[in-house]
Amino acid sequence: MNDSGASEARLTATPAGVRLGPLDTIADGAARNFVLQMRAGRFHGFIVRRGDAVHGYVDRCPHMGLPLAQALDAYLTPDGIHIACSWHGAVFAVENGLCLGGPCTGQRLTPWPVTVTDGQIVTATSDRD
């Protein structure tokens, strides 16, 4: 019997230099889900665009470990100002992932380092590295 049916690891980081697509793949003021299949498992993240800047996070709420959006790409509050967890109402700052209200106030989303290079969204190295 082989291990092909074994569950894959859910990763919390990606290597630097992975091209995710053109910046205009994400509308200004919107968010988009990304799933990357890698040898070690699958990574689930999302990116919020603010003008020419992008902010990436692992798609996992610090409250219960669930993905934040129940509907595809629905990561933002209705006014588009904050990131929201659709399960328990936590609200996060786009710029740093800090929970501003809800069951995980004071905690943070796990950052997913991304940048824009030559009009392309690309994974980056962590500021902590």
Q: 51 is written with which tokens? A: 């003008």
Domain that holds residue 91: 9-123
pTM: 0.90
pLDDT for the residue numbered 6 = 45
**Beta-sheet strands, E only, within the chain:** 9-11, 19-22, 31-38, 41-50, 53-58, 83-84, 91-92, 99-101, 114-117, 120-123
Judged by DSSP in three states, 42 sits in: strand
pLDDT value at residue 127? 59
25 within domain boundaries: yes
**Is residue 97 in a domain?**
yes
Could you tell me the CATH number of the domain that includes residue 88? 2.102.10.10
| Burial class for 111, CB neighbours closer than 10 Å (0-12, 13-18, 19+) | middle
Residue 2 domain-assigned? no
For residue 1, being part of any structural domain is answered with no
Cα four-point dihedral sign 65, 25, 52, 36: positive
Q: How many CB atoms lie within 10 A of CB 60?
A: 18
Q: What average pLDDT values come out for the chain (129 residues) when binned by 10 residues?
A: 53 94 97 94 96 97 94 96 96 98 96 97 78
Whether 3 is covered by a domain: the verdict is no
Number of structural domains (the chain) is 1
Cβ contacts of 4 within 8 Å, gap of 6 or more: none
Q: Is residue 129 part of a domain?
A: no
The pLDDT score that the predictor gives to residue 3 is: 44
